[in-house]
Amino acid sequence: MRSFIKKDLLIFWRDRKELMTVLLLPIVLVVVLNFAFSGLLGNDEESGMDLQLAVVNQDDETEAMADLQEKLTREASLGESEAAALVEQASHADPVQMLFDFLDSEDVTEIVTVHQLEEDETIEKAQAGEMDGILVIPNGFAADSLYAAFTGESPATSLVFKMENETMNTSALFQIINGFMEQMNFQFALQAAGSEPDAEVMLPEGGFEEVEAVESHSFSLTQYFTVAMGALFSLFIAATVATKTGEEIRQQVFNRILLTNSHSVLFLIGKVVSTFFLAWFQMMFVFMFSQAVLDAFPDRSITFWLGTIGIVTLLSLSIAGLGAVFTAISLRVTNIDAANGIFFLVIILFGVIGGNFVPVYVMPDWLQQIGEWTPNGRALVMLTEWIQFEELSSIIMPSMLLIGFFLLCIVIGLILFPKRGKAS
Amino acid sequence: MLETINVSKSFKGKKAVQDVSLYLDNGESVGLIGPNGAGKSTTISMISTLIKPTSGEIKLNGANTINKPEKIRKILGVVPQELALYQELSAYENLKFFGSIYKMKGNDLEKRIQRALEIVGLADRQKDLVKTFSGGMKRRVNIAAALLHRPQILILDEPTVGIDPQSRNHILETVRALNEKDGTTILYTSHYMEEVEQLCDRLYIMDYGEVIAAGTKAELLSILQAEDTVKAELSKMDEAFIQQVKTIDGVRKAEASHLQLKIIAKKGSNLISELVHLADQHQLQIINFHTETPSLEDVFLHLTGRTLRD
Ligand SMILES: Nc1ncnc2c1ncn2[C@@H]1O[C@H](COP(=O)(O)OP(=O)(O)OP(=O)(O)O)[C@@H](O)[C@H]1O
Ligand SMILES: [Mg+2]
């Protein structure tokens, strides 16, 4: 067995040009894509997304100013005229209006579709998975926010962001709304400072409540490219190894191997192991390079890296399985070139539906669902979730699936593996 | 020790080999000769268990090998027509890989590798990648790889095709030594008659998938030995003399052009003395006179109406 593995790895090692291509191409692409896209989109990392946001407005804007006036006179013991002046000032800065203006702005409408709905309707839609997030503007929100801005107290009510499941999309939405809140608070602070030089103005804290909050990291474009290219190119290794098998047939060495009476499984194991190592090293190179040069994963823990290595290992394993199937097929077919062509097509197909070329959310649902059954698609989801949430529980099931995929492939490879020479 | 009994092979209904029966005795050196596409390689592939015959049997010491290929594979060394080597590995690495999958190890393997490289005369180039070798050197490594496990039977499929005379001689000498010194049984395929004539005790001639003749060199030549071709150069032309020659007992044909006379006669006819006697009568001299012996190439020509190589 060692002889086979050694031989396969040695052959790859000898073909330095191919080895370099295999190892460097994904890295080059990560760099190129990264710079191309970050330049093009002005670092807008979530661009290209189509996020569905339901907005439930429970606040009555017509009453907001009256409420504010009452609150200012009653609770902050301001004089009637003083309060009226503040209300006048505030009427130009209705937070609810500002929120809608913000959601209507060109930057946001590009990626977020806003649905103004009633609450029960919203829940239905959210449960059906049509909404990526729900934003609830509670009753009294405008008055409370403004009051808090003037007094420096914490607001009594806050926006509520709800979601059904934590996904990349929901966290993107969360980031957007959070950004708005920060911006609004900052503006309030400026306004308050401008009109009331003596007043002690504090930036209202919070004002925004995250429901089902999970500590999460954002998912950057660089990270997406790293993960997508790493997984995609490692897939190609399965095909590359099968191509080598084709060469072994053409060069008749396979026949010579058969004549030694060595067990056919050893040949297959040689392919599986070398595919595994190549895929593993390739992906690790991509990650290491992205980290070292592009700082793709800043300040991440050892746990994060261990998990990432684990996922890479599992993906390499399933790719090795795919290599076994391709190898066995190569040994069976009469037209090796056609077979190689088909392998590459299969891999491109896997790459597309697995989301390695374009993010999956641009594809129809049914395709996304099929895509999750490809090892690369599965690993991509695992990695994206791992990068954001670092939750072990979220990767255990998919890990099992990857191992299952590997075992299934090995069984298929063994069944297809020919016992005699090719031309029998 | 090894025999095929009426083996046939069809590829998608097209017959490549038909009813080939041949045998190899221990220590023999046997040639298999035929033009391109005769079915030599196909026959060899069937013997070496790489292709399953469509029909017929292959027996090693009386035991059928077709469904139990392991035994014959163990004692068989095959030098395929195409190079069966990893171009990206060195000669040494190739041999080491093939040796180790023959389950040889350590010192023993090392010795065998060096011995095989010596036999083919490549010990000094063993560290070089096969792809940097000349055609002849590659063919020699190809042979070395078949020798590692010291096979009792060595099958060589056109091992000298497309190489320089020096490498060719080296290969022929190697094969002869393996046969004569080590007692290896040889099945040697070629479409060079002279190689087979030099090396082999017996030979089979194949054409269009069938064995059309078999036997020792002498036996095959005797196919043509029913007739002799005699050529004579005359001092002058005499039509009456020619007519008389045609009446000699056993002469099939007599043709003259200029001063050359060509006679085809049955073997053993009293041609020469009759010819001298007649020349005396017609007062002319026979200046030059020779009998042509047929070659194996002539045998092939006689059997197929074609030459071995176009
Ligand atoms: N795998 C195959 N599929 C289809 N036809 C084949 C195959 N192998 C051989 N043939 C056919 O069988 C016939 C015999 O081929 P074979 O290779 O045995 O000839 P050969 O005597 O070795 O010729 P050469 O001297 O050119 O090597 C040829 O007509 C060839 O086209
Ligand atoms: Mg041939």
Q: Yes or no: say if A114 and A103 are a contact pair by the CB < 8 Å rule.
A: yes
Query: Of all residues in chain A, what percent carry a pLDDT higher than 90?
Result: 13
Is the pLDDT score of A42 beyond 70? no
Residue spans of beta strands (DSSP E) within B62-161: 63-64, 76-79, 153-157
Chain A's closest residue to B54, CA to CA, is A424
Task: Chain A: give the shortest CA distance to residue B258, in Å.
Answer: 57
Name, in order, each residue with C-beta under 8 angstroms of A300's C-beta and a sequence gap of 6 or more: none
**Which of A2, A243, A247, A256 should one mutate to test binding to chain B, selecting the residue with the greatest count of B CBs within 10 A?**
A256
pLDDT for res B8: 94
What token pair was written down for A239?
A: 């095909």
Position with higher pLDDT, B279 vs B292: B279
Task: Say yes or no to pLDDT of A403 above 90.
Answer: yes
Strand (E) or helix (H) holding B226: none
For residue B148, report the distance from its CA to the centre of ligand 2, in Å.
Answer: 23
Give the residue carrying structure tokens 């064995």: B211
Those residues whose C-beta lies under 8 Å from the C-beta of residue A41, and which sit 6 or more positions away, are A47
Mutation site, A4, A12, A13, A261, interface B, largest B CB count within 10 A: A261
Residues in chain A: 424
Question: For all residues of chain A together, what is the average pLDDT?
Answer: 80
Q: What is the CA radius of gyration of chain A?
A: 29
- Residue by residue, what is the 3-state secondary structure of A157-186? CCEEEECCCCCHHHHHHHHHHHHHHHHHHH
CATH for A182: 3.40.1710
Residue A70 lies in a domain: yes
Q: What is the DSSP letter of B90?
A: B
Strand bridging mode A159-162 / A112-116: unpaired
Measured CA to CA in angstroms, residue B50 lies from A395, B26, B200 at distances of: 47, 22, 25
Model ipTM value:
0.79
pLDDT tier, A408 (very low <50, low <70, confident <90, very high otherwise): very high
> Which residues have C-beta under 5 Å from ligand 2, the single-atom ion?
B 40-41, 81
Same domain for A76 and A147, yes or no, is yes
Average pLDDT over residues B280-285: 86
Q: For residues B75 and B58, what is the distance between their CA atoms, to the nearest angstrom?
A: 15
Cα-to-chain-centroid distance, residue B36: 13
Q: What are phi and psi of B272, to 5 degrees?
A: -65, -45
Mean pLDDT, rounded, for B190-214: 90
Question: CA-CA distance, A264 to B21, in Å (whole number)?
Answer: 31
User: Would strands B55-60 and B29-33 be described as parallel, antiparallel, or unpaired?
Assistant: unpaired
Co-location of A230 and A124 in the same domain: no
Are residues A403 and A282 both part of a single domain?
yes
A26 and A127, same domain (yes or no): no
State the burial class of residue B27 (Cβ atoms within 10 Å of its Cβ: 0-12, 13-18, 19+).
middle
Domains and CATH numbers, chain B: 2-221 (3.40.50.300), 226-293 (3.30.70.100)
Q: Percentage of chain B surpassing pLDDT 70? A: 97
Please report, to the nearest 10 degrees, the dihedral formed by the alpha carbons of residues B174, B176, B180, B182 taken in order: 30
Point out the residue among B50, B86, B88 whose CB comes nearest to the CB of A255.
B50
* E-only strand ranges, A58-168: 112-116, 133-137, 159-162
| Shared-domain flag, residues A325 and A369 | yes
Minimal C-alpha gap between A313 and chain B (Å): 28
| Same domain assignment for residues A135 and A240 | no
- Give tens-digit pLDDT for B64-111: 988 888 889 999 999 999 889 999 999 999 999 999 998 888 999 999
Give the pLDDT mean for A300-308: 89
A-contacting residues of B 151-210, CB under 8 Å? none
The burial of A231, by beta-carbon neighbours within 10 Å (0-12 exposed, 13-18 middle, 19 or more buried), is given as buried
pLDDT tier at A54, thresholds 50, 70, 90? confident
B chain contacts of residue A248, beta-carbon cutoff 8 Å:
86
pLDDT average, residue stretch B287-304: 77
- What pLDDT, on the 0 to 100 scale, is given for residue B219? 85
pTM of the model: 0.68
Beta strands B76-79 and B153-157 are parallel
> What is the rounded CA–CA span in Å between residue A310 and residue A398?
12
Is the pLDDT score of A183 beyond 80? Answer: no
pLDDT on residue A47: 46
pLDDT in tens, A81-107: 888 887 887 777 778 888 888 888 877
Give how far A284 is from chain B: nearest CA, Å. Answer: 26
Q: Given its phi and psi angles, is residue A207 left (phi above 0), alpha (psi -120 to 50 degrees) or beta?
A: left
pLDDT tens digit sequence for A165-181: 667 677 777 777 777 77
Give a yes or no: residue A199 inside a domain.
Answer: no
Residue B186 scores a pLDDT above 70: yes
Distance CA A255, CA B95 (A): 15
Residue A69 lies in domain: 51-194
Question: Which band of pLDDT confidence, cut at 50, 70 and 90, is reported for residue A204?
Answer: very low
Q: A365 in a domain, yes or no?
A: yes
Claim to verify: residue A169 and residue A236 sit in the same structural domain? no
In a domain, A103, yes or no: yes
Say which amino acid occupies B269: S
Q: How many angstroms separate the alpha carbon of residue B42 from the centre of ligand 2?
A: 7
The pLDDT tens digits of the residues spanning A361-381 come to 677 788 888 888 889 888 988
Q: Determine the Cα–Cα distance for residues A231 and B194; give it in Å rounded to an integer.
A: 60
Flag whether pLDDT at B10 surpasses 50: yes
Q: Is residue A386 part of a domain?
A: yes
Q: What is the DSSP string of B149-204?
A: T--SEEEEESTTTT--HHHHHHHHHHHHHHHHTT--EEEEEES-HHHHHHH-SEEE
Using a CB-CB distance cutoff of 8 angstroms, which residues of chain B are in contact with residue A245? none
Tell me what pLDDT residue A250 has.
77
pLDDT of residue A197: 37
Tokens 């060589």 correspond to B156
Question: Quick one: which of A108, A199, A113, A107 has its CA closest to A150?
Answer: A199
Nearest to A258 among B11, B50, B103 (CB): B50
Q: A423 CB under 6 A from ligand 1?
A: yes
Q: Are residues A114 and A168 in the same domain?
A: yes
**pLDDT digits over B106-150, tens only?**
999 999 999 999 988 899 999 999 999 988 899 999 999 999 999
CB of B42 shorter than 6 A to ligand 1: yes
In chain B, pLDDT over 90 holds for what percent of residues? 48
Asked if B217 contacts B185 with a C-beta cutoff of 8 angstroms, the reply is: no
Token couple for B289: 């006179």
The distance of A412 to chain B (nearest Cα, Å) reads 23
Q: What DSSP designation does B57 have?
A: E
Q: Is B11 in the pocket of ligand 1 (CB under 6 A)?
A: yes
pLDDT digits 0-9 by tens, A206-247:
344 444 444 566 777 888 888 888 888 888 899 888 888 888
pLDDT for residue A209: 41
For B86, which residue in chain A has the nearest alpha carbon?
Answer: A253
Residue B156 phi, psi dihedral angles, 5° rounding: -120, 125
pLDDT at residue A193 tops 60: no
pLDDT in tens, A114-141: 888 887 788 787 777 778 888 888 888 8
CB of A415 sitting under 6 A from ligand 1? no
Mean pLDDT of B227-231: 79
pLDDT at A423: 40
A206 found inside a domain: no
Q: What is the dihedral of CA B145, B147, B149, B154, to 10 degrees?
A: 120
Residue whose CA lies nearest to ligand 1 atom number 25: B36
Q: Which among B47, B55, B49, B41 is positioned nearest to B9, based on CA atoms?
A: B55
Residue A178 is assigned to a structural domain of this protein: yes
Contact B80 A252 (CB under 8 A): yes
Residue A393 has a pLDDT of: 83
Q: Which residues on chain B are in Cβ contact (under 8 Å) with A15?
A: 88
A128 touches chain B (CB under 8 A): no
Give the span between the Cα atoms of B203 and B189, in whole angstroms: 10
Domain count, chain A: 2
Nearest alpha carbon to residue A319 among A224, A385, A230:
A230
| pLDDT value at residue A191 | 56
pLDDT tier at A188 (50, 70, 90 boundaries)?
A: low
- For residues A250 and A296, membership in a common domain is answered with yes
In a domain, A200, yes or no: no
Q: Residue A109: which of A176, A158, A39 has the closest Cα?
A: A176
Compute the distance between CA of residue A315 and CA of residue A287 in angstroms, rounded to an integer: 14
Residue-wise pLDDT for A310-364, tens only, equals 999 999 999 999 999 999 998 888 788 888 899 999 998 998 888 888 776 677 7
Distance A299 CA to ligand 2 centre (A): 65
A395 and A357 belong to one structural domain: yes
**Which numbered ligand comes closest to the C-alpha of B204?**
1
| A252 contact B CB<8A | yes
Give, using CA atoms, the residue closest to atom 18 of ligand 1: B39
Smallest CA–CA distance, residue B198 to chain A, in Å, is 28
Instruction: Give residue A308's pLDDT.
Output: 92
Helix ranges (H only) for A251-263 are 253-259
* A250 plus A294 within the same structural domain: yes
Q: Based on the domain organization, do A303 and A156 belong to the same domain?
A: no
Residue A187 pLDDT: 65
Q: How do residues B171-183 score in pLDDT, each as one tens digit?
A: 899 999 999 999 9
d(CA A252, ligand 2 centre) in Å: 13
Phi, psi of B245 (to 5 degrees): -60, -40
Q: Which residues pair with A367 in a beta bridge?
A: none
Specify the pLDDT at position B32. Answer: 94
Q: Determine the distance separating the centroid of ligand 1 and the alpha carbon of A293, expressed in angstroms.
A: 57
Q: How many percent of chain A have pLDDT more than 70? A: 86
Domain boundary, last residue among A128, A161, A194? A194
Tokens of A195: 């009109």
